Amino acid sequence: MSIKVRYFASLKEKVGRSEDTLTYSNPMTVYDVWHYANVGTEIPENILAAVNMDYASLDFVIVDGDEVAFFPPVTGG
Amino acid sequence: MAIQIKTDIFDPFQEIQAYQNTKLVDVMTIGASNIFIGTMRDFNEDTAVKSMTLEYYPSMTEKQIEKIILAAQQQWQLIDCLVIHRVGTVLPNEPIVVVAVWSSHRGDAYDANRFIMETLKSKAPFWKKELLDDNQERWVIKNTNGYTSV
């Protein structure tokens, strides 16, 4: 099973890349995805997450083909 | 309803006029049009700002703005809504965002416009990076509270 992980804004600069494609075999939450993609890096305290372009909590369970995104608080308008 | 993301400078009044001329010209039930235009100021947190660059999450941004408008339509009697948001590099005095709401009555138009704008500020995935006078760059960490004067 595989998922795409995307990063935006200051978080993209922090992790040094805009996206990952990950393969996995066991069920994972959004929180697990962060640690799988960023081994040894604690998840930022104020991070926001989305799955398939809807906001998702860190305990949301992902499925094959999902697009997971991590980003800082939004500042548009 | 229309949601537009623009990469170049635009004239808010021409955009609103064009939308009215094409989508609303035959609608005779409109009694109130409420328009909010947000522009870039040349300072933030007591620091001069030369320009800012707006990043967004294509598709998610439009999807979230649509959800905000649908939520407004659930709460107020609205005829139509137009939201335009700029991305890319923006200079002081240039428009960043337009929220236009058409309704039969002013109460719905005023309140829905405020709701859409304030919710957009906390839910629509846009991020601002400022270029300061000394050429240092700075991410905007949080938006000001729209319900206070400070």
Asked if residue A77 belongs to a domain, the reply is no
What kind of fold does domain B2-22+29-134 have according to CATH? Answer: Aldehyde Oxidoreductase; domain 3 (3.90.1170)
- For residues B97 and B90, is the Cβ–Cβ distance under 8 A? no
Question: Tell me, what's the pLDDT at B64?
Answer: 98
In this complex, do A71 and B141 lie within 8 Å of one another by their Cβ atoms?
no
The token duo for B67 is: 């959800």
Q: What mean pLDDT do residues B20-43 have?
A: 97
CATH code for the domain of A24:
3.10.20.30
In this complex, do A53 and B54 lie within 8 Å of one another by their Cβ atoms?
no
What 8-state DSSP symbol labels residue B11?
A: -
Give dist(CA B136, CA B130) in Å, integer: 8
Q: Which of A66-70, B22-26, B76-80, B145-149 has the lowest mean pLDDT?
A: B145-149
Asked if residue A14 belongs to a domain, the reply is yes
Asked if residue A42 belongs to a domain, the reply is yes
Give dist(CA B96, CA B85) in Å, integer: 6
Does the pLDDT value for residue B149 go beyond 80?
no
Sign, CA torsion A18/B67/B121/A47: negative
Q: Find the CB nearest B140 among A53, A55, A75.
A: A75
In this complex, do A76 and B141 lie within 8 Å of one another by their Cβ atoms?
no
CA distance B123 to chain A (A): 7
* Number of domains chain A contains: 1
Nearest chain B residue to A47 by CA: give it: B141
Asked if residue A76 belongs to a domain, the reply is no
Question: Tell me, what's the pLDDT at B124?
Answer: 98
CA distance B85 to chain A (A): 7
Residues of B in contact with A44 (CB under 8 A): none
- For residues A15 and A76, is the Cβ–Cβ distance under 8 A? no
Question: Tell me, what's the pLDDT at B2?
Answer: 98
Mean pLDDT value across chain B: 96
Provide the greatest CA pair distance for chain B: 53
- Tell me, what amino acid is at B11? D
Per-residue pLDDT reduced to its tens digit, B32-87: 999 999 999 999 988 999 999 999 999 999 999 999 999 999 999 999 999 999 99
The token duo for B55 is: 């990043």
In this complex, do A77 and B125 lie within 8 Å of one another by their Cβ atoms?
no
Question: Tell me, what's the pLDDT at B35?
Answer: 98
Asked if residue A13 belongs to a domain, the reply is yes
**Domain range summary for chain B, segments of one domain joined by +:** 2-22+29-134
Radius of gyration of chain B (CA): 16
Does the pLDDT value for residue B143 go beyond 90?
no
Look at B150 and B36; give whichever has higher pLDDT: B36
Question: Tell me, what's the pLDDT at B114?
Answer: 98
Question: Tell me, what's the pLDDT at B36?
Answer: 98
**Which parts of chain A register pLDDT below 50?**
none
Angle at A53 between CA B57 and CA B40, to 5 degrees: 30
Taking the Cβ of residue A45 and every Cβ of chain B, the question of whether any pair is shorter than 8 Å is answered with no
Q: What mean pLDDT do residues B87-96 have?
A: 98
Question: Tell me, what's the pLDDT at B112?
Answer: 98
Interface test with A, best of B44, B56, B57 (most A CBs within 10 A): B57
Question: Tell me, what's the pLDDT at A25?
Answer: 95
Asked if residue A58 belongs to a domain, the reply is yes
Query: DSSP alpha helices (H): ranges in B9-144?
Result: 12-23, 60-75, 106-123
CA distance B28 to chain A (A): 31
Domain that holds residue A60: 2-71
In this complex, do A6 and B140 lie within 8 Å of one another by their Cβ atoms?
no
% of residues, chain B, pLDDT over 90 = 93
